[in-house]
Structure 1
Amino acid sequence: MDVSEHVLSAGRAVLDMVEREWQPLSPGELELRLDQAVEDILESDLMATLQAQPPPPASTIYVQLLQSQANVGPQVLNTGATTPGPPEEDVSESEHLLETVDSAAVKYIADLLQSSKSKTRMAGRARLSLSHTVLLSLTLLTERLSYRCVSRRFHLEKGNIHRIFFSFCERINSLKEKQIQWPVGEEAAEALFPLYSPEKKEEDEEQSVPQVLGVLGHTQIPIRLPIGKHDLESTVPEVKRMKREAHPDSWLNLELVCDHRGRFLHCRISKGSDVDRGSALRDRLKQHPELMPSGSYLVARAGYPLTAHILTPYTRSVGPREELFNKTLEGHFQILDQAVANLRARFQRLRYLDIGNYERARAVVLTACVLHNVFLDMGQVVQGEAEKEEAITGEGDVDEDGVCRRDAISDVLLRSFDSGSV
């Protein structure tokens, strides 16, 4: 292996470590801080000069007030202390920010963090209030902005913003158990919805209709490839190689279960090289069957395990019965597709996470999932354009009990269709 390649790899590792732990001020950020320091000095000198001068006569103040009213027209006079307004560019950015992040959401999330039992201290050299910390972090999540751009908006150093943001993610991650919960008891009963809706409202038939607790599926979040995963022995130039050969760990697998409202009931984040789909959830439901109400199921696309609790489509020997069953399931898959689209539309940083550290990338994705439920509970939904989950050829793991239940349900569904009740 060439020495220059070793040096290049070592340099990348050092840069990645510096990015995670500490970043010095860039020339632009240093200039910003110097400008602020000069403004503070000039302001203090001006205030000292004004305080040293004798106050003007009352008649002079009255004349000046009349002149100012004549110049500004019928506006409300602000007699309180004022601060210089932001430049026009900052005003437009602030207006866009208020449209993207609602102030009520900032307060709601800040209250959640304030009431949480987590003892984690928010990081950062600057003494930001909790509400400003939430606003800064939501800005990074909801908009595809660089740290430099956010630095100019909030007048903080890039390295400080980096620490504040990941400290916020750590605190939000601690809320996962409360915000992403598997429903039980009355909550589970309220979450159920029918696999299909019979037109005839006969009591016996309604009781026999299988119920769906949630839709199981996944999406992929692209991330920056970790430094250690680059193939340094390849003779192909690095940029061309990354475009041509997608490494499995250049994305995260986000496995989700959502209810009919699009609320996440289950969330599992794994590396792209992890190809086990739904196996952990399958084992959990097998060990704790009480998590599934009687007569209820999860529905999932092909490639997921077919079990007594998870229904998947037919992939071979497809006739009229199987086609009807698959079409019925396909209608439910759109619920998850829309929930994923809404997640991506609100948290645009998920389009590409420029993070080479798996744990930190995972923390950001989990933060977005937790906040997805928070915003949904607040009634704030951002509609995204749904995309169909990538289809998988072939069936996943098959449980004999799952095969029997799927066949029985498809038989009932076909009879209902032939009798005109569906």
Structure 2
Amino acid sequence: MEVRKKKVAAAGRVIMDVIQAEWEPLSHWELDQRLDRAVEEMIEADLVAQVQEQSASVTMQASQQEDSAPPDQAQTETPPRLSESVCALQRSHVTEAMEANPAVQYVTHFLQSSNKSYSKNRLSGRARLSLSHTVLLSLTLLSKRISYRSVSSSFHLEKGNIHRIFFSFCDQVIAQKDRLIQWPTGQEDLQHLLPFSSWLSRNEGLEERGLPQVLGVLGDTRIPIRLPAGKPDSESEAPEAKRLKNEPHPDSWLNLELVCNDKGRFIYCHISKGSEKGRGSALAERLQQHPEMVPPGTCLIAGVGYPLTEQILTPFSTGRSPQENLYNRSMGTHLNRFNQVVADLKERFQKLRYLDMGNYDRAKAVVLTACILHNVFLDMGDVTKGLIERSTAEDVEEVNEDAAGVKMRDTVVDLLYSALESGTQ
């Protein structure tokens, strides 16, 4: 009896330790992830309830038909099995959704006409799922914050098979990256440049007096992902005086760096781990090796924290004069345009709000697929508007300013202010 009491006490202590570990105070980042998963579970529960209601309806219809049939016919005919009836009903709903969705038809045609190395009708996977159904499945996963389990019942597929089909779809889309995300090179592309100042462009007869035109806006956003297994806690690596309790681990998100043009189209895309530093360093190095990418009389605009070069102009961290404030306001117009494009991207592909996957390569594939499809939908004329997220103040590391970049920015500041004075006289 005494031995049994000790075992019970030991088991109780283990349970208490588990409960205590489970109910330790969570950081804001961890709490947001828990809430995201809870929302997904609620959505999944609603979908399951809908399927159950449809199943009950099919069962009732089958029962009524059996009761109304003649006795001899009821004995000779076998009613359809419930699972087959439910599957047929689900397939009909999927087909109706596919036929009523022009985006599915457009993307299906795009993949059929552009990717000759794949079958036009099928994608990989144990289930013989048509390309159009695959597109519908994949766009559903991308556009909503739901998991494979949520769509498995609608498409009557196993979760593992949905996983393979979805990433096969991503591979097909990614194969078109160089075709869809292109840096402008021809004269036709350079005709769609933005004026440096929207105020100057609205004043007839007032030339911009040597001000550069904007080729594109450079910026970045974070895509939260599940922390990969085995990653240490960031708090244990940093000194006690410097670490922040609510700071997430740097590899619990992806850095998505983009350049968008005047139409909101992506002309550059770079994805890196959250722990990788150096905003814009990859693009700045590429521009240094190929200066022809930014023709004379044009420039890129980026936010504070990006390298200031002759080709990439950034705002002053704090305007200290009317000239600098005027320059910053002109820069802010372009940066707000970039923020709107990012908001549109995340509104259309809501899966980017949180990727519940700890595998970096798979998460990167999903993000890149969404960016490519963003351009596909723009070609289609399908525009989605999202709400710009409130940006929280973050510490921006100091960037070494290139001497040519400082000179270029000072020149633009003087030209902009002199143009404003001439226009007000």
Q: Shorter-chain TM-score category?
A: 0.7 to 0.9
Contact 1:217-1:256 at 8 Å conserved across structures: yes
Q: How far did 1:110 drift?
A: 1.5
What corresponds to 1:418 in structure 2? 421
Q: How far did 1:415 drift?
A: 1.1
Q: How far did 1:85 drift?
A: 8.0
TM-score between both structures, scaled by the size of structure 1: 0.72
What corresponds to 1:162 in structure 2? 163
Counterparts of residues 173-212 of structure 1 (less than 5 Å) = 173-196=174-197, 197-198=199-200, 200-202=203-205, 205-206=207-208, 208-212=210-214
* 2:380 maps to amino acid: M
Whether 1:402 aligns to 2:405 is yes
What corresponds to 2:137 in structure 1? 136
Q: How far did 1:268 drift?
A: 0.3
Contact 1:188-1:213 at 8 Å conserved across structures: no
Q: How far did 1:113 drift?
A: 1.6
SS of structure 2 residue aligned to 1:382: coil
Distance 1:103 1:228, change over 3 A: same
Counterparts of residues 363-378 of structure 1 (less than 5 Å) = 363-378=365-380
What corresponds to 1:145 in structure 2? 146
SS of structure 1 residue aligned to 2:230: helix
In 1, the alpha carbon distance for the partners of 2:419 and 2:291 equals 28
Aligned residues: 342
Q: Deviations over 1:322-370 (max 9, x none)?
A: 1110111001111110100000001011111011100000000000000
What corresponds to 1:329 in structure 2? 331
Q: Deviations over 1:149-171 (max 9, x none)?
A: 10011111111101100111111
Distance 1:367 1:421, change over 3 A: farther
Tell me, which stretches of 5 or more residues in structure 2 are unaligned? 1-13, 15-47, 74-83, 237-242
Contact 1:110-1:134 at 8 Å conserved across structures: yes
Q: Deviations over 1:285-319 (max 9, x none)?
A: 11111111221011011000000110001125721
In 1, the alpha carbon distance for the partners of 2:185 and 2:176 equals 19
In 1, the alpha carbon distance for the partners of 2:180 and 2:100 equals 20
Q: How far did 1:93 drift?
A: 7.7
Q: How far did 1:96 drift?
A: 11
Distance 1:102 1:272, change over 3 A: farther
Contact 2:319-2:328 at 8 Å conserved across structures: no
Distance 1:226 1:102, change over 3 A: farther
What corresponds to 1:386 in structure 2? 388
What corresponds to 2:105 in structure 1? 107
Distance 1:242 1:228, change over 3 A: farther
Contact 2:319-2:325 at 8 Å conserved across structures: no
Distance 1:143 1:410, change over 3 A: same
Q: CA RMSD in A?
A: 3.7
TM-score between both structures, scaled by the size of structure 2: 0.72
Q: How far did 1:94 drift?
A: 5.9
In 2, the alpha carbon distance for the partners of 1:206 and 1:315 equals 25
Distance 1:97 1:171, change over 3 A: same
In 2, the alpha carbon distance for the partners of 1:92 and 1:113 equals 24
Q: Deviations over 1:26-75 (max 9, x none)?
A: xx9xxx9xx9xxx9xx9xxx9xxx9x99xxxxxxxxxxxxxxxxxxxxxx
Contact 1:315-1:395 at 8 Å conserved across structures: no
Q: How far did 1:189 drift?
A: 1.6
Percent identical = 53
Q: How far did 1:217 drift?
A: 0.2
* Equivalent residue in structure 2 for 1:226, among 223, 228, 242: 228
Q: 173-182 or 117-126, which moves further after superposition?
A: 117-126
Distance 1:93 1:209, change over 3 A: farther
